[in-house]
Structure 1
Amino acid sequence: MDVYNSEEQQVEAIKSWWQENGKSIVAGVIIGFVGLFGWRYYNDYTRQQSEAAAAEYQQVMQSLSEQHEKAFDAVSQFIKSHKNTYGDLAGLQLAAEAVNANKPELAAEQLRYVAEQGSEEEFKPVAAIRLSRLLVAMDKPADALKVLDSITAEQYKAVVAEIRGDALLASSQPDKAREAYTVAMQSGKAGTNPVLQMKLDDLSVASEDVDTPKAK
């Protein structure tokens, strides 16, 4: 602001500046308060929603653990109405209980949903791995191989390779199964996986039996 010769000139200059800029200042202050309180309201709302979802999740999980198959419908409804972490967790739990209840199709449905449409990226490969194992057990190795192709995270390389070997073996492709098991063994953590080693040994024995000519 310029230097004025009198207080009256200073006052007039302030009045003039306020007329030009006052409205924008007031609007800015109002917007700031609205934004601040709006953000607080949003945070409070989301926190309350999260707490409510957590409480409801605990309730349906308790019902599932106590009532088992009788609670399947209630858990399914919870999953449909909660497209979030709790819904994904409930889907994984429901799948496990469905396997125990000898309902593999329901388990596969839940696992496929989490693997393909889950809200948490961390849960998708976990669900896909469980689904691929289940599909092999259901004698659907081709479907299992398709699911395994969707899992690209490096940390799951060993387990994916092992399940791939299981699926290939179930598809009557022992040579490819051996290759997959070898990849799994080489990709695993330090130390030998006894189950995986047994699978490789069984394939070696089977191969020797085929290659050894029968005595006449």
Structure 2
Amino acid sequence: MEVYSNENEQVDALKNFFAQNGKALVVGVVLGVGALVGWRYWNNHQDGASREVSAAYQQVSSALDASKPATLEAAAKFASDNNNTYGALASLDLAKRYIDNNQLDKAAAQLQSGLQDAKDANLQAVLNLRLARIQLQQKQPDVALKTLESIKGEGWTAIVADIRGEALLSKGDTQGAREAWSKGVASDASSTLKEMLQMKMNNLPG
């Protein structure tokens, strides 16, 4: 399954995301939150310099095409040249395209680079959640669990619990997965996300 299958979903479609099932749903939520974080920054930093950087980011982002290496190189240069929020957002976009090309190592490296530029805790959380998903796909559950430890804030509890449960289950720790998902069910998450986590718990052996 593609890690970022819902990248192009509009932010307002988040209201309908929880009608879906499986990991792609959680990924879609993470991506949607990432878009909201980016939009908040665009609105809060509209001085002259920020407008220029914002315009440059939008141009680079809209031109990205996984089948066109030149657009990937342009985005990578933008991310490298801008050690700020826009650089981090470019890293998010670029990592998705690397996933499209099945270049998981490059995607992970780009997200780690973005983390060095991100100052906002929510943006950092989005980067770390995406990184943990990739690390799981790379069959590195222990690394993914370590990445999840960096995510703070009650608003992320259920999504972190979902990924943590998947990581523990991949290690054969059924009880650990059950406890992780149970924490997500007990959190202040949407009812449908809780139902999804409960369904995963119900499907566990024993």
Give the TM-score taking structure 2 as reference length: 0.70
Are 2:82 and 1:82 equivalent residues in the alignment?
yes
Q: Which runs of 5+ in 2 are unaligned?
A: 1-45
Give the match for residue 57 of structure 1.
57
Alignment check: 8 A CA contact 2:148 2:160 kept: yes
Inter-CA distance 188–100: structure 2 relative to 1 (3 Å threshold): farther
Query: 1:14-33 to 2 correspondence within 5 Å?
Result: none
CA distance in 1, matches of 2:144, 2:116: 14
Are 2:146 and 1:146 equivalent residues in the alignment?
yes
Give the match for residue 130 of structure 1.
130
Give the match for residue 40 of structure 2.
none
Q: Which runs of 5+ in 1 are unaligned?
A: 1-45, 208-216
State the AA in 2 paired with 1:54: S
CA distance in 2, matches of 1:51, 1:150: 31
Are 2:181 and 1:168 equivalent residues in the alignment?
no
Give the match for residue 105 of structure 1.
105
Give the match for residue 213 of structure 1.
none
Q: Percent identity?
A: 34
State the AA in 2 paired with 1:148: L
Alignment check: 8 A CA contact 2:83 2:117 kept: no
SS of alignment partner, residue 57 of structure 1: helix
Give the match for residue 189 of structure 1.
189
**Runs in 1 of length 4+ with deviation above 6 angstroms?**
none
State the AA in 2 paired with 1:74: A
State the AA in 2 paired with 1:128: N
Structure showing the higher helix proportion among its residues: 1
Give the TM-score taking structure 1 as reference length: 0.67
Inter-CA distance 81–148: structure 2 relative to 1 (3 Å threshold): same
Alignment check: 8 A CA contact 2:161 2:183 kept: yes
CA distance in 2, matches of 1:181, 1:174: 11
CA distance in 1, matches of 2:175, 2:73: 44
CA distance in 2, matches of 1:131, 1:122: 14
Alignment check: 8 A CA contact 1:115 1:125 kept: no
State the AA in 2 paired with 1:196: L
Aligned pair count reads 160
SS of alignment partner, residue 150 of structure 1: coil
CA distance in 1, matches of 2:80, 2:190: 41
Which of the two has higher C-alpha Rg?
Answer: 1
Task: Note the C-alpha offset of 1:189.
Answer: 2.3
CA distance in 2, matches of 1:67, 1:49: 31
Alignment check: 8 A CA contact 1:132 1:145 kept: yes
Alignment check: 8 A CA contact 2:158 2:187 kept: yes
State the AA in 2 paired with 1:150: S
State the AA in 1 paired with 2:107: A
Task: Note the C-alpha offset of 1:83.
Answer: 1.1
CA distance in 2, matches of 1:181, 1:102: 29
Task: Note the C-alpha offset of 1:123.
Answer: 0.8
Inter-CA distance 109–169: structure 2 relative to 1 (3 Å threshold): same
Question: Relative contact order (alpha carbons < 8 A, sep ≥ 6): 1 or 2 greater?
Answer: 2
State the AA in 1 paired with 2:130: R
Give the match for residue 19 of structure 1.
none
Task: Note the C-alpha offset of 1:75.
Answer: 0.7
CA distance in 2, matches of 1:47, 1:67: 34
